[in-house]
Amino acid sequence: MRRRHGHYSYATAKLICCDPKKASRKAFMRVYLQVPIKNTEMQDPKTRSRQATTYTPPELTAYQRVTREDFSNVPKLLGYKVSTQDKSGLVPNGFAIWLAWEMVPGLRLGNKLGDDPYWTLSAVEREHVRLAFMEALPQALEKGYAPYTSSLSRLVWHSQTGTLYFIGYFYGLDDESKDRGNIKISPKHLACYGLMEPSSNEWCNKNWDGDTTGWKK
């Protein structure tokens, strides 16, 4: 995947890897590699090297913090490496970053290609998921981070321990001065993540009265 993020031009790839000493221990790895700005790909290496810069992925910063603070509802960062490309690289001296995080156990509640597994759970278990969500999301927001997108595919439910995990890209919230204490989760949050299905679009209105009659739970 190629992205432009501000003045950065880079490609990313997500891989499944394992511990070389214990092959059964799986993990995810993401690679960030600086690439030439569009229409400069065919320039000579010396010219491309002038684009070289440093970069810290917001995702890495987020994983470092939640791991350091032992937030149990996000995969733990297992390791990372920040390096530069050699003279044969796409952008000589440009950034090359690797980060690996644990593969959490449980059922991924969303499926981008078909029916969402969440709705195959019993009504009682879905209620347990929603309660776990309402407890875990405020903790993430209070730390200043949130999943990049809100959807069932960003949630993993481990029924044996009653743990709900947030997975995928993470980003830092911009409102640094805002007091995030005592954050309350509303039905709107549940609808945004697909944990409830509204019967109409009234919940999108600013003056919505909060009535969830007829919502699928």
CATH code of 21's domain:
3.30.200
* 57 lies in some domain: yes
What phi, psi does 112 have (nearest 5°)? Answer: -70, -20
Let me know whether 19 and 68 are in one domain: yes
CB 217, CB 193: distance < 8 Å: no
* 47 lies in some domain: yes
Let me know whether 45 and 83 are in one domain: yes
Query: Is 48 strand, coil or helix?
Result: helix
* 210 lies in some domain: no
Let me know whether 75 and 95 are in one domain: yes
Look at the chain and count its residues: 217
Let me know whether 152 and 197 are in one domain: yes
Let me know whether 33 and 64 are in one domain: yes
pLDDT score at 114:
77
Q: Position of tokens 């999108």?
A: 204
Domain range for 119 is 107-204
Beta bridge partners of 2: 11
Let me know whether 14 and 67 are in one domain: yes
Let me know whether 35 and 78 are in one domain: yes
| pTM for the structure as a whole | 0.86
State which of 76, 102, 128 marks the end of a domain: 102
pLDDT score at 177:
45
pLDDT score at 171:
66
Beta bridge partners of 81: 98
Let me know whether 91 and 171 are in one domain: no
Domain total in the chain: 2
Let me know whether 65 and 117 are in one domain: no
CB 9, CB 56: distance < 8 Å: no
Picking from 141, 155, 209, 77, the residue whose alpha carbon sits closest to that of residue 200 is: 209
Largest interatomic CA distance in the chain = 64
* 1 lies in some domain: no
Let me know whether 165 and 149 are in one domain: yes
* 211 lies in some domain: no
From the centroid of its chain, how far is CA 16?
A: 16
* 46 lies in some domain: yes
Going residue by residue through the chain, which has 217 residues, state the pLDDT in tens, using 9 for 90 and above. Answer: 455 555 789 999 999 999 999 999 999 999 999 999 999 999 999 999 999 999 999 889 989 988 998 999 999 999 999 999 999 999 999 999 999 999 999 999 998 787 899 999 999 999 999 999 999 998 888 877 777 789 999 999 999 999 999 998 776 655 454 555 667 788 999 999 999 999 999 898 888 988 899 999 9
Let me know whether 32 and 81 are in one domain: yes
Let me know whether 93 and 120 are in one domain: no
* 3 lies in some domain: no
pLDDT score at 142:
81
State which of 77, 102, 127 marks the end of a domain: 102
pLDDT score at 7:
74
pLDDT score at 144:
75
pLDDT score at 173:
58
